[in-house]
A and B are shown apart, each in its own frame.
Chain A
């Protein structure tokens, strides 16, 4: 063994040219696709005659309907947050504390995951089928001919069903993290079951409840598809108002101002989550369970009641999907119930272009978004450089903002020189990459934090160089992050609409946009068939990614549900 000159081997920290170049390149992309559009929207909102001015805001929000939409959005968000958190807690508590058998747990998980992987209209469409003028329940079952399905009540119900799984996943993790021994301790001190729930379990879950509420509030605030179909004229909300302002009146400035009005509450929620809720978690997820103890906090009767309630609600979800499927294979819902495949024929002929476009865009977005997620995640989670925290925060901006804002911002920013990409596939792919790639960043950072530096040192001590270590140890360990990133970008590309509705064109369109068009053209059968197709594709992809993740048997690997929870 001969010793090379020490100087050649010295590792100079902080002067890694690859690092510097990657950081500069990533910042370039972030500036272009995150900061620039956001700046554009702010300029358009606050600029009049070349000066800073509040006149635009006063003018637009002065409209009674817009002013009303602002408060409606907040009301809807608050109610969805409240109801969804309640429902999510109910399900999570049952799943964790009611001693369910494996089969029931699986059934509940499946039913709950359905809304998470569906295009955003599915519940809304099923609502129309159930409670519309010719609805299965209102017309056929109850004989009510003139039931008004449009308004706050339906929107609230549909959004709660669509978004409560987010609360379920958040709260399940928290409840599962509470050591049953803590409850045992309270029992040993003489508390009854109800008292233990009230004084131990519930207080420990409060930060989780707050977090779930904020998540649901933000989701409802950003939701565009459900209110568009179900809210009707009497209950305008901000995202739909902004959409109509732009597509109906071609008023970009008005759209920008309305989406700014949306940005303010969204920003408050983001800050609350990051700086208030984040610091108040009592339960740490260590992956280490205390000694096994039977759960005594729920009496057998209460457990049966909880389970029954959950099954009933799950059946409602399952019913919605069966109805959707039924509507897709009959001639005309409410009029002609003859079985037919004609809607699918339309989907695969007239709709073929949308399917192809969506798959191409989702595929490109998936690859680029996954790569982006892992690279940024690796930089943020592992490397030390000056702008690290700033990069982490900026990377989350598009992910945290309501899609309507991102869509309008992209439309404004890239409609004109210097970068004119409106109408291309590129703008849609970019919107997805920088919005949903953030999920890949989060998982990669989380995984990297769990990798002890000594694992890489161990590899070095066994004779492996930096490159070998990276290839054989680091890469395999962060692969789950890559898969998660890929999965989220693909699934969201298949199902999202709020941002991209502003970005589609004659040349490039998306399935979700076609569903909306078919809804407005009242071709509900075709819309249902499209929805079923999307659900099928997403389920297949979810299963494939779940299979890939299972190949990596390691403690840090995230489960599929954690992917969708983000």
Chain B
């Protein structure tokens, strides 16, 4: 079956909240998911990502806007007419049915002949590595196994679209990493267009073709993991994906145009691309900790800083420094030859100008 694009055409969802009155949970979300792609909706809790997913599934109806599967407008279609597979956060297995019957459920609804059901279910259970579990019941399985049954049940009906609602959040850390690789492999093999919801940025980066970062009901930025990490569109994205330093800076007066930025007494050229700071303006400049370079001799750096804490993590060392009264994080990838700076020492800091970012600020960070 040819993979199908999913279109979210300017959808908005408002609820009537008992206390807060009318609340906009999803605000004019516009998104195109390419055929065969896995796109992740990433954001803090309450950002509207699950509501968006539930509208694609049909559990909720958008207040405004349309949902398209390929060229078909499915906005008015009931859930059971959308030919979509949904994997729930709590698995939602039918407790009164065996594993076989759980997976067969969707095929029985379609009134497929018994022999075809048997072969389809057997094939899918093999795919998720649960052969031999047919006669067990959901409460006899571990969390990871239950999650794989949920996955098998969703893909056995050969859906055009696969939707995941935080499917790994109930698993322990190790199983989470393992299962997300399985989900990704299966999705690639079957080439089913998928939307995946999570609040875990590492999971999102590991599993997705593209990520849509959401905040306060809106999509802030869409891009690959690298794009979001190296070229975040706003300070919210920069903070949400990975870790980042936020440094106070002032644009110098009466100098070259555009004015250079003063960070801890050292002048830096303004970062290109984004916005420009006007002379005299106080701004915040962003830089990833691993881009911050430390040298043992303070005179060799752009400006001096004092080491306040050091965490040795094997392949890397994380420092917390203090420079000009503000904290600064730095990550150094370690080899046997690396010199470790002891807490209390004064070191020199170098900020590579090409990695400095001046970002538009979003209000109300989580």
Contact B96 A4 (CB under 8 A): no
B169 to chain A, nearest CB (A): 13
Tell me the complex Cα distance, A554–B137, Å: 8
Tell me the complex Cα distance, A3–B69, Å: 12
Contact B76 A458 (CB under 8 A): no
Neighbouring A residues of B93 by C-beta, 8 Å: 455, 458
Contact A1 B81 (CB under 8 A): yes
**Cβ of B78 < 8 Å from any Cβ of A?**
yes
Contact B95 A555 (CB under 8 A): yes
A290 to chain B, nearest CB (A): 16
**Cβ of B36 < 8 Å from any Cβ of A?**
no
Residues 411 to 463 of chain A near chain B (Cβ within 8 Å): 452, 454-455, 457-463
Of chain B, the residue at the smallest CB distance from A450 is B95
Contact A455 B94 (CB under 8 A): yes
How many of chain A's residues have a CB under 8 angstroms from any CB in B? 30
Tell me the complex Cα distance, A10–B57, Å: 15
**Cβ of A473 < 8 Å from any Cβ of B?**
yes
Given A458-B88, A461-B57, residue A9 in contact with residue B94 (CB < 8 A):
no
In the complex, which range does the number of interface residues on chain B fall in? 35 or more
Contact A452 B80 (CB under 8 A): no
B5 to chain A, nearest CB (A): 16
Contact B92 A452 (CB under 8 A): yes
**Cβ of A50 < 8 Å from any Cβ of B?**
no
Contact A554 B95 (CB under 8 A): yes
Tell me the complex Cα distance, A463–B106, Å: 6
Contact B74 A3 (CB under 8 A): yes
Tell me the complex Cα distance, A7–B75, Å: 11
Contact A454 B106 (CB under 8 A): no
Given A461-B80, A473-B94, residue A3 in contact with residue B137 (CB < 8 A):
no
Contact A454 B105 (CB under 8 A): no
**Cβ of B229 < 8 Å from any Cβ of A?**
no
**Cβ of A250 < 8 Å from any Cβ of B?**
no
Contact A462 B157 (CB under 8 A): yes
B1 to chain A, nearest CB (A): 13
Of chain B, the residue at the smallest CB distance from A477 is B96
Contact A455 B92 (CB under 8 A): yes
Residue-by-residue, is B211-238 near A (CB-CB < 8 Å gives 1, otherwise 0)?
Answer: 0000000000000000000000000000
Given A6-B75, A477-B96, A552-B96, residue A464 in contact with residue B80 (CB < 8 A):
yes
Of chain A, the residue at the smallest CB distance from B54 is A457
Given A3-B73, A473-B94, A554-B95, residue A460 in contact with residue B80 (CB < 8 A):
yes
**Cβ of A300 < 8 Å from any Cβ of B?**
no
A295 to chain B, nearest CB (A): 24
Given A473-B94, A555-B139, residue A4 in contact with residue B157 (CB < 8 A):
no
**Cβ of B13 < 8 Å from any Cβ of A?**
no
**Cβ of B86 < 8 Å from any Cβ of A?**
yes
A374 to chain B, nearest CB (A): 16
**Cβ of A265 < 8 Å from any Cβ of B?**
no
Tell me the complex Cα distance, A464–B92, Å: 15
Tell me the complex Cα distance, A454–B57, Å: 12
Tell me the complex Cα distance, A473–B106, Å: 12
A69 to chain B, nearest CB (A): 50
Neighbouring B residues of A9 by C-beta, 8 Å: 76-78
Residue-by-residue, is A454-482 near B (CB-CB < 8 Å gives 1, otherwise 0)?
Answer: 11011111111100100011001100000
Of chain B, the residue at the smallest CB distance from A455 is B92
Contact of B80 among A10, A463, A552, A553 (CB under 8 A): A463
Of chain B, the residue at the smallest CB distance from A454 is B92
Contact A6 B76 (CB under 8 A): yes
Contact B83 A463 (CB under 8 A): yes
Of chain A, the residue at the smallest CB distance from B165 is A454
Neighbouring B residues of A452 by C-beta, 8 Å: 90, 92
A548 to chain B, nearest CB (A): 13
**Cβ of A232 < 8 Å from any Cβ of B?**
no
Contact B72 A3 (CB under 8 A): yes
**Cβ of B43 < 8 Å from any Cβ of A?**
no
Tell me the complex Cα distance, A459–B151, Å: 14
Given A452-B92, A455-B92, A468-B109, residue A461 in contact with residue B77 (CB < 8 A):
no
A500 to chain B, nearest CB (A): 36
B194 to chain A, nearest CB (A): 14
> Which of the listed residues A5, A459, A556 has the most CB atoms from chain B within 10 Å of its own CB?
A459
Neighbouring B residues of A462 by C-beta, 8 Å: 80, 85, 105-106, 109, 153-154, 157
**Cβ of B110 < 8 Å from any Cβ of A?**
yes
Neighbouring B residues of A554 by C-beta, 8 Å: 95-96, 137, 139
Contact B88 A454 (CB under 8 A): yes
Contact A463 B109 (CB under 8 A): yes
A5 to chain B, nearest CB (A): 7
A438 to chain B, nearest CB (A): 25
**Cβ of B312 < 8 Å from any Cβ of A?**
no
Tell me the complex Cα distance, A10–B109, Å: 22
Tell me the complex Cα distance, A4–B78, Å: 10
**Cβ of B59 < 8 Å from any Cβ of A?**
yes
Tell me the complex Cα distance, A465–B58, Å: 13
Residue-by-residue, is B75-118 near A (CB-CB < 8 Å gives 1, otherwise 0)?
Answer: 11111110111101110111110000000011001100000000
Contact B90 A476 (CB under 8 A): no
Given A1-B72, A3-B77, residue A458 in contact with residue B83 (CB < 8 A):
no
Tell me the complex Cα distance, A553–B88, Å: 22
Contact A458 B77 (CB under 8 A): no
Of chain A, the residue at the smallest CB distance from B78 is A9
Neighbouring A residues of B94 by C-beta, 8 Å: 455, 458-459, 473
Tell me the complex Cα distance, A556–B95, Å: 9
B117 to chain A, nearest CB (A): 13
Tell me the complex Cα distance, A405–B292, Å: 82
Residues 269 to 324 of chain B near chain A (Cβ within 8 Å): none
Contact A461 B84 (CB under 8 A): yes
> Which of the listed residues B76, B96, B137, B139 has the most CB atoms from chain A within 10 Å of its own CB?
B96
Contact of A3 among B76, B79, B96 (CB under 8 A): B76
Neighbouring B residues of A6 by C-beta, 8 Å: 75-76
Given A462-B106, A462-B109, A476-B96, residue A457 in contact with residue B59 (CB < 8 A):
yes
Tell me the complex Cα distance, A3–B66, Å: 14
Tell me the complex Cα distance, A461–B137, Å: 21
Residues 1 to 46 of chain A near chain B (Cβ within 8 Å): 1, 3-7, 9-10
B14 to chain A, nearest CB (A): 16
Given A3-B72, A9-B77, A9-B78, residue A461 in contact with residue B85 (CB < 8 A):
yes
Neighbouring A residues of B81 by C-beta, 8 Å: 1, 3, 463
Contact A457 B92 (CB under 8 A): yes
Tell me the complex Cα distance, A5–B76, Å: 7
Neighbouring A residues of B154 by C-beta, 8 Å: 461-462
Given A452-B90, A462-B106, residue A457 in contact with residue B79 (CB < 8 A):
yes
Which 7 pairs of residues, A with B, have the shortest CB-CB distance?
A6-B76, A462-B106, A454-B92, A461-B86, A460-B79, A554-B95, A458-B92
A positions within 8 Å CB-CB of B: 1, 3-7, 9-10, 452, 454-455, 457-465, 468, 472-473, 476-477, 552-556
**Mind listing 6 A-B residue pairs with CB under 8 Å?**
A1-B81, A1-B83, A3-B72, A457-B86, A462-B109, A477-B95
Q: Given A9-B77, A460-B78, A554-B96, 5 more contacts at CB 8 Å?
A: A1-B81, A463-B80, A463-B83, A463-B109, A554-B137
B positions within 8 Å CB-CB of A: 57-59, 61, 72-81, 83-86, 88-90, 92-96, 105-106, 109-110, 137, 139, 153-154, 157
